[in-house]
Amino acid sequence: MQFARAAWKFLVAIKDGMVLIAMLLFFGALYALLSSQPNSAAIRDGALLLDLNGVVVEEPAAPTFEDFLAGNSGGPREYRLRDVVRAIDSTVEDDRVKAIVLDLSSFAGGGQTSLTDIGEALARAKKAGKPIYAFASFYSDDSYQLAAHATEIWMDPMGGIIFAGPGGNRLYYKGLIDRLGVTANIYRVGTYKSAVEPYMRADQSPASREASEALYGVLWDSWLAEVKKSRPQAIVQPFADDPASFITAAGGDIASVAVQQKLVDKLGDKTAFDRFVAEQVGVDETPSPDSFKSIDYDDFVAAHPVDSTGSPIGVVTVAGEIVGGKTGPGMAASGRIAERIYKALDEDEIKALVVRIDSPGGSAFASEEIRLALLEARKKKLPIVVSMGDVAASGGYWVAAAGDHIFAEPDTITGSIGVFAVLPSFEKALAKWGVTADGVQTTPLSGEPNFVGGFSEDLNAILQSGVENSYSDFIQLVSKARDKTPEQVDAIGQGRVWDGGTARQLGLIDGFGGMTEALAEAAKRAGLAEGDYHPQYLDPQNKLSWLGFDGLPFVAQQSPPVKGIVGWVAQREKAVFGAALATAQGLLAREDVQALCLECGAGARRNVRQSGDWIDRLLSYSFSSSPR
């Protein structure tokens, strides 16, 4: 008995200790977060430092509770696109800002349309007299798209520059699936709906190749045109077309090639660059004698909030893969988004709605839930204007069909009107080990789905019919929304992805423009005077709304800077491997009919930024989670 009492006291002590440790971690992390709030009063004269050590997204992902306890966001930082653009635009009227510094050494990229928006803001600031200085150890497509707007571009002499362009290989698993004996039961509609091709082919289909070549060609030409316009002296295309010849001729000295091709202006390490900027904006002696006076990005954003004068126009953000439930942000959870729409309608203050979409789609059911919520706004005679970001395809276009007017950019990826479903069965694999299935059925569907014995013809017919019905629903709603016949929509549907320019010619969108144009159109339709309105974002504006705190930033991990060509290759290898694993586990994990465009690449940025962790976590990776 005495031993039992001692053991019980010992267990209670362990429990109390664990509770105490958990409380200490919680309040320690909470204190760190409270003390790390942006301080708008700390702004002084100097250069606005855009140290973009992460990825630009439409809507940053919500941290998990584990991230909160750890005090970080679980990966490299995600920068909200509209915050970056607002910060740059705010420099025009802020005399404290003497220059803008782009430190792109750890920049993990963003969608082409998003980077164009940032580039246009940089161009406006430069036109207003704000010099822009860019530095990176290594430049590639995304970082150079921003750097091209700089007054002066610096690069580390041991660094490099490579332009890869859009495109590349996808992994195809048909051979592996056959070898393992797994049957991928595929149900789809759409000649170009290539999301399921890796499970039914060993290579890309001619139809998919045709669509990809057309899309990537437009995106690459657009990128070249933007860089040429921003930096006319740069000799980009010859170097991009044959980098090996240029670099080999220079004996592997990529930095000298960059200077010869006028891609960069100066070679120098980070210390030399900082000294140069200090000569322009003033020296900050506090960190080190080589530092320049800088303005913290978060402080500057906090000091320049969104204008709130005039009537409110509600802005609904649909960013990430569309899923059911109330998760996110970072995932476009239909329950959460619909709930916010209904709440805004009940408050009866907003005069119109702008729906900002940056999504490759996802669940057809979830897409319809969001669309139905938007239709409630139409019943209240509220104008609905859609603004497409980097991508608004499949389920993203399903949602867009609820709009009275659709804006996109020429580089927006849209369309992909098609649906599919993938379900695995293991009859071949089990048969290799002598496992078979048999039994008595009272109906044709008794015991179905039979993952051991294989799906029956009846079940296959039912599932294919259901997918075809979902496609028919998709066609009908687009037909009604865009004033086209179902046959016309079917001809431009079939799961094909289109660039924004072609989408406009096909009548899938109404015009070119971003959020500024969408808000102006919504205000016009609502009868509001020019300038007498402001955006009221219906998505949560803080990362700890689930705890009731406002505007508390997490301490994000920093993306490792790419130092040279070898590091760039290694990083891209990890990214491809991580994205392949995410695609493989995600397709077979989805539980309903999908209006999803995996080839569109939205969400790939998050796969890329986390790719360094994929290798380390491979053996312990859980295949039960859903990818972004």
**Residue 288 is a catalytic residue:** no
Question: Is the preceding peptide bond at 627 cis, omega within 30 degrees of 0?
Answer: no
Query: 90, 394, 416, 559: which one is catalytic?
Result: 394
The Cα 454–Cα 452 span in angstroms is 6
Residue 68, exposed/middle/buried by CB under 10 A (0-12, 13-18, 19+)? buried
> Contact 55/609 with Cβ under 8 angstroms?
yes
Task: Show the tokens assigned to 89.
Answer: 């635009």
Query: 193, 293, 484, 543: which one is catalytic?
Result: 193
> Contact 371/361 with Cβ under 8 angstroms?
no
Contacts of 350 (CB under 8 A, 6+ apart): 312, 313, 314, 344, 382, 536
Contacts of 378 (CB under 8 A, 6+ apart): 384, 402, 404
Contacts of 616 (CB under 8 A, 6+ apart): none
The Cα 502–Cα 358 span in angstroms is 18
Give the angle 133-137-143 at the CA atoms, nearest 5°: 60
Choose among 613, 572, 500, 604: nearest CA to 110. 604
Alpha carbon 515 to chain centroid distance?
A: 17
The Cα 602–Cα 579 span in angstroms is 11
**Residue 90 is a catalytic residue:** no
| DSSP character string of 603-625 | THHHHHHTHHHHHHHGGG--TTS
Give the 3-state secondary structure of residue 285.
Answer: coil
Choose among 224, 247, 256: nearest CA to 237. 224
Q: Any idea which residues carry the catalytic annotation? A: 193, 394
